[in-house]
Amino acid sequence: MTAILQQPLPYHASSTELYRKIAHLPMPVLLASGSIQHPDARFDILSAAPIKTLKTWGAETLIESADGTCSVQRGNPLDILKENVQYPALDVSGLGKTPFVGGAIGYFAYDLLHESHQVPSVRANDDISLPAMLVGIYHWAVILDHQEKRCTFLCLSTVSKAVRQQILDCLDVPLPASAAQETFELTGAFQSDFSRAEYQQAFARIIRYIEAGDCYQVNLAQRFSAPFKGDPLLAFARLHELARAPFSAFIKSPEGCVLSFSPERFIRVVGKRVTTQPIKGTRPRHEDPGEDR
């Protein structure tokens, strides 16, 4: 049974301030749900420097270890991920409702399983060069509990004392004055990858498919993009404040940054209980008429 070490830290109302202190480490991640009024909003989770990173392009998954070794595996990316997570049995007594003590954090793209499921390779142009799967295996985390106003550093006892101290030193160092001067701004307007005529043609084609019985539902998506300059973390902090989404995430990797703001929980598994919380366009009415509008 592997022990989990705990150390209290000063509480921060803003998780982005803490994130900045570890942003220079490899593949830092932030899962943000706290500090907003929502039944599922309580905790923020931060980590960085995974012991392994898995990146999938097509049929190949690149596995990079913290010691610098690399390997490539072919096959179902989820099977490869399962092989590489391999967590020891953990002693979680005394952790209360702590939501995370280590494990896999990352994302899966929609076309991740096209290769293993033999889906035809007719797909959108891959012009942003992000892997279909990007996952880090983390052995430590900082947990912000906004309900109890507590901040805790957690790590597996297998993490060396030198690594633990390095992380704690990063978290203890004040941000430089220059951090307050950092900005984020768009340098051009958002542009769709559809023209109006192209969108109308695609919409009409989908209607014909539905009327013919070829399908019953299609998600017709368009992508909006714009050039920017500055720190994407500042964009995340501002959008999180506006969206107030209980399942938000910020992931930074050499390939780029991922900003996610979801009102939905795709799936949660606790023991033998599985929960999913889709929104699908619905939202509760507000008692205050102004807020409701």
Helices and strands (H and E) in the chain: how many: 6, 18
Q: How far is the C-alpha of 29 from the C-alpha of 48, rounded, in Å?
A: 6
Active site residue 264: yes
Q: What is the pLDDT of residue 282?
A: 63
The label of the residue with tokens 């941000």 reads: 175
Active-site choice (161, 280, 287, 291): 280
Q: What is the pLDDT of residue 177?
A: 80
Q: What is the pLDDT of residue 162?
A: 92
Q: What is the pLDDT of residue 228?
A: 96
Interhelix angle for 15-22 vs 161-172, to 10°?
A: 130
Residue spans of the chain under pLDDT 50: none
Question: Nearest 5°: phi and psi at 116?
Answer: -70, -25
Active site residue 252: no
Write the pLDDT tens digit of every residue in 203-229: 999 999 999 999 998 889 899 999 999
Q: What is the pLDDT of residue 62?
A: 96
Contact 44, 32 (CB under 8 A): yes
Q: What is the pLDDT of residue 123?
A: 58
